[in-house]
Structure 1
């Protein structure tokens, strides 16, 4: 559903999925559909953004990086030191995404 090029097609895929599984797994389909419509809000954005915002992978990766750095430090002496680390991880993340694409070069 989420890789459908349009909102309309995503809705059609959702309907096909629900129609296929509703009779066999009604409780699972009920749970699946609860709040599902909110996950389609990324279709309101320009299509060029879809691949970045339709999942939480980037956000999860960011917080995994923050937790790893925080674990290295241990206990923070105050809130300001925690926020400073958070800021630095944000800066590092931006630096990763802002660097120009480099053509893959063979090392042969």
Structure 2
């Protein structure tokens, strides 16, 4: 559904998904049906931006790293000390991870679409 090029295609994919899973997870399928009108505006975004929106693993991972870094240090004497720890956490490379640099594949095309679509908001254009 997330990668469907049109609304009709997304509806067809949801119908296939619902047919396969409604017997096992009726509450989940009912929730999708209730919230479909909330999901549909998502399909107005270009595919590159859609991927950026629905893939939140990087964001969740960074938030977990922030929590771990601040939890280990307890209290901070001032806001600058806390910001320094967060800054160093962002810069820390994770060599034991599948993506140690933290780079996002296809970021140039995503940035190009963002600048064309929302350049005025980003201060790029």
Determine if the TM-score, normalized by the shorter chain, exceeds 0.5: yes
TM-score range, shorter chain: 0.5 to 0.7
Match of 2:103 in 1: 97
- In structure 2, what is the Cα distance between the partners aligned to 1:46 and 1:55? 14
Judge which range, 44-53 or 17-26, deviates more.
Answer: 17-26
Tell me the TM-score normalised to structure 2 length: 0.51
Alpha-carbon RMSD across the aligned residues, in angstroms, is: 3.6
| Matched positions, count | 97
Q: What do the CA deviations read for 1:68-98 (whole angstroms, capped 9, x no partner)?
A: 2112322233445334444x168539x8438
Ranges in structure 1 where 5+ consecutive residues have no aligned partner: 99-108
Displaced runs of 4 or more, over 6 A: none
Identify which of structures 1 and 2 has the higher relative contact order when contacts are C-alpha pairs closer than 8 Å and 6+ apart: 2
Q: What's the TM-score, normalizing by structure 1?
A: 0.57
Name the SS of the counterpart of 2:76 in structure 1.
coil
5+ residue gaps, structure 2, are 93-100, 105-125
Q: Partner residue of 1:14?
A: 14
